[in-house]
Amino acid sequence: MSTELLSNFLGGQWQAGRGAGSALFDPVLGHELVRVDATGLDLAAGFEFARTQGGAALRSMTYRERGAMLAAAVKVLQGQRDAYYEIATANSGTVKNDSAVDIDGGIYTLGVYAKMGETLGDRRFLMDGEPARLGKEPLFQSQHVQVPVRGLALFINAFNFPSWGLWEKAGPALLSGVPVIIKPATATAWLTQRMVHDVVQAGVLPPGALSVVCGSSAGLMDALRPFDVVSFTGSADTAQVIRSHSAVAARSVRVNIEADSVNSAWLLPGHAAGSEAFDLLVKEVAREMTQKSGQKCTAIRRVFVPESLYADAAQAIGARLAKTTVGNPRNESVRMGALVSRAQFHAVQEGLAHLKQHAQVLYDGSTQALVDADPAVACCVAPTLLGTRSAAGSDAASVVHETEVFGPVATLVPYRDAAHAAELVRRGEGSLVASLYGSDSQALAQAALELADSHGRVHVISADVAALHTGHGNVMPQSLHGGPGRAGGGEELGGMRALNFYHRRSAVQASTEVLSALG
């Protein structure tokens, strides 16, 4: 019996691709779930419909009205949460808590931007700063404004967050008045497609405001025009292809990239094994290694501790990892599910083998049997902690600072002093996030500023926020998500800052009376 072929929504209508499609699989049980295909779609016509119909309808609304529209979408999504959890278990192989990070995290983020619309009120553009006098007399001035782009936003998303990756981009875009076309990663496209389906069918968005194309990405970049924008999350190799495409290079399409990131956790000097700062680091490292099976762009990949604490940290992190049961997420005793696909399984195995040539194994979770899962079928990889043994080895093991294994793998790296640690962290050449652990507020603040130029976010964990902090790897809509260098150089979220990408800044030079008439 053939499996269902999911439809695309483009040009204001549901359309099936003309090909056989690509199969999506259950990464634990191995069987085929659904198929996706975009063969034969008229992308140019669909994109133009989004620009002309969806864009015009959205721009005619105020920020308050668009915020109410997002709030209505939130209610639709909340009403279907159980179905989304079932899809996540089947297609992403995640345990319930990990599915919540994606599903509830995405809905929460959309809700934040819905409330922001109420704050922005009955306006259709944003003022940017105060008027600036252009001469001796104040009668002729310059006022910067930001108006919604008159194109569309194309989102090419990664496989690890089919819900959050959709809504953390779509929320700010739709609130800005810009229509959205989503291209989810094929391996986990089912959840994205279902969420778009539910919102579209509920009729809470104007026609053309939200579209989804599942399957091959061929032709998507070709269909972009100068006033469109594109946001990509994925590998640095694909990011390079996007940046070199004629849409970006010749037509100046604005692009946002989130790519590879070898994120860090740093225990500052002056803390003993068993201290609160030490224990907070151990707890967070183990959580970040195992949440969503390490398939988070923000997950901790390198762990920096004073050389004297190397053995203690290895033992403590390993002891926590040993409590993580791996296998079928449908079994209530399982705490970590699978990687999303056989391709990712092989990629992680290859990356791990590469790292093992330059670091020793400190904890190997593969010695424990999988729970309710056949190791010959399930795409499960147990957590593995590696280490570079000595501070001198930390300097020599360049591969550790350059390689992101997108799974439950991290490397423990000893350092000599604070300056040495900061130097090693920066060898990641730009990351999404680094987390700091300590008890001295002055030292923590100094370290945070030391790393700020090479990180999109610095997450500082001290005893006073032990029960309050949001987590090294949790991306909150109020803070920037992105990072310089290897991380792609992009910026998303950050509260109101997210709207900047979907607006064009222009200087209106006019009399004081005309500028006052802007509103």
371: CATH: 3.40.309.10
The rounded distance, in Å, linking the Cα atoms of 399 and 416 is 20
Out of 168, 214, 258, 492, the active site residue is 258
The rounded distance, in Å, linking the Cα atoms of 55 and 62 is 13
- Tokens at residue 384, please? 């593995």
pLDDT at residue 1 above 50?
A: no
Evaluate whether 190 touches 5 at the Cβ level (below 8 Å). Answer: no
The rounded distance, in Å, linking the Cα atoms of 202 and 196 is 10
The rounded distance, in Å, linking the Cα atoms of 296 and 382 is 16
One domain, residues 253 and 300:
no
Nearest to 23 by CA among 4, 7, 10, 8: 4
One domain, residues 355 and 455:
yes
The rounded distance, in Å, linking the Cα atoms of 480 and 451 is 15
- Tokens at residue 342, please? 């056989």
The rounded distance, in Å, linking the Cα atoms of 393 and 72 is 55
pLDDT computed for residue 135 by the predictor: 87
Give the global pTM.
Answer: 0.94
One domain, residues 478 and 503:
no
379 part of the active site: no
Q: Which run of H or E residues covers position 290?
A: helix 276-290
One domain, residues 170 and 78:
yes
Q: What's 78's domain CATH number?
A: 3.40.605.10
One domain, residues 187 and 244:
yes
Lowest mean pLDDT among 80-94, 345-359, 391-405, 446-460: 391-405
One domain, residues 379 and 410:
yes
- Residue 365 lies in domain: 263-484
The rounded distance, in Å, linking the Cα atoms of 460 and 265 is 10
pLDDT in tens, 83-129: 999 999 999 999 999 999 999 999 999 999 999 999 999 999 999 99
One domain, residues 328 and 401:
yes
Nearest to 197 by CA among 186, 175, 212: 212
297 part of the active site: yes
One domain, residues 175 and 280:
no
Number of domains in the chain: 2
Helix, strand, coil percentages (3-state) for the chain, rounded to 5, are 40, 25, 35
pLDDT computed for residue 170 by the predictor: 98
Out of 168, 214, 284, 297, the active site residue is 297
What confidence category does residue 198 fall into, taking pLDDT thresholds of 50, 70 and 90?
Answer: very high
One domain, residues 315 and 288:
yes
The rounded distance, in Å, linking the Cα atoms of 10 and 380 is 35
CB atoms within 10 A of CB 453: 10
3-class DSSP assignment, residue 326: strand
One domain, residues 290 and 163:
no
One domain, residues 226 and 120:
yes
The rounded distance, in Å, linking the Cα atoms of 232 and 336 is 27
One domain, residues 314 and 451:
yes
3-class DSSP assignment, residue 414: strand
Average pLDDT, the chain: 95
The rounded distance, in Å, linking the Cα atoms of 300 and 113 is 28
Give phi and psi for 456, each to the nearest 5.
-70, -30
